[in-house]
Amino acid sequence: MKRVLITGAAGFLGSHVTDRMLAKGYHVIAVDDLSHGHMRNLEAASSHSSFEFHAVDVCDLPALREAAGKVDSVIHLAAYKIPRYENPKKTLLVNSIGTQNALQVAIESGARFTITSTSDVYGKSPDVPFAEDGNCVLGPATVARWAYAASKMFDEHLVLAMAEEAGIYATVLRIFGSYGPRQNLTWWGGPQSVFINAILNDEVIPIHGDGMQTRSFTFVEDTSRGIVAAAEATTANLEIVNIGNNREITILDLAREIHRLCGKPGEPKINMIPYDAIAGRKYEDVLRRVPDIRKAERLLGFRASVQLEEGLVRTIEWQKEQIRKEALVNA
């Protein structure tokens, strides 16, 4: 039985990837420091005989090495993000040190390595849809929101350099807007998470900027399927591949669609929040974000299949259940 180390396994994406790898017959060594992940996300996995969990910080190489043992594959999902609110320093350090450590474990085992990067690395590139060999245009270092993109760009370079030097198989995946059950219910989980919560609780929907910025949202079943496809592929060594749905929608239209799917009448109540009010400092947003998906289709045979409406309906039902559970706990 092949052994796979999954970092960030108790998180949103990590738990879904864990479930898929167990279903495919792998022995999963799951590590997470539980700073943002939750053991409830691993409830199904925890009862599996081929699953083990270690509360480990990926920045602690000796602990990570001990937890992993000898592995055949490493899927590195652990990361820190959203520096626009706090901790750009932590974002930079955790993502760089954690990636170096996960790579070191893979190299020592002669294991293949798969890392999730982010669509944020494309930054302000005007070349839409974003292709993997296109330009990445980040803003100035004086704007903290770019710290996450910069950290993941560094990770990409580090992975390709260390993997090539060590002779291990490695793939970098740029993830576009993943959403679905188990997502974080704050901005950490994405705008759709915050919008659903606001609408279900009859609150005003907060939108940053004018709402005309566009995004591409990918249901977590598709995202996790793409990650697993990359982790098993033989055609994507030292490649960077977009994993995403190429349907583009404005944030304002996303709010309206969620409002409709929640069964609410009329127009949604919206509060437009100026960017400078987000964190009391300079902020820059990306006006369009949509992937070129041809490389994923060619190298991985992957194409997202869950349409936005279906994915949102399933996500809304899941969030309704979370609200019901919370009400029972607080009753």
Task: In whole angstroms, give the CA distance from residue 328 to residue 331.
Answer: 5
Write out the residue range of the structural domain in which residue 105 sits: 3-178+219-246+285-306
In this structure, is residue 237 part of a structural domain? yes
Name the nearest CA neighbour of 102 among 90, 113, 116.
113
Residues in a beta bridge with 328 = none
242 in a structural domain? yes
295 in any annotated domain: yes
Q: What is the pLDDT of residue 85?
A: 57
Structural domain tally of the chain? 1
Q: Residue 254 domain-assigned? A: no
CATH number at residue 50: 3.40.50.720
Residue of 80, 122, 148, 179 marked active site: 148
Task: Decide if 132 is inside a domain.
Answer: yes
- Distance between CA atoms of 258 and 253, rounded to whole angstroms? 9
Give the model confidence (pLDDT) of 259-291 as tens digits.
999 999 999 999 999 887 776 567 788 999 999
Q: What's the whole-number average pLDDT of the chain?
A: 95
Assess whether 148 carries a catalytic annotation: yes
Whether 189 maps to a domain, the answer reads no
Question: What is the value of pTM for the model shown?
Answer: 0.96
pLDDT tens for each residue of 242-262: 999 999 999 999 999 999 999
Residue 250 to residue 282: CA distance in whole angstroms: 22
- What average pLDDT does the segment 62-75 reach? 99
Least confident among 201-210, 225-234, 269-278, 280-289: 280-289
Q: Confirm whether 103 is domain-assigned.
A: yes
Residue 196 in domain: no
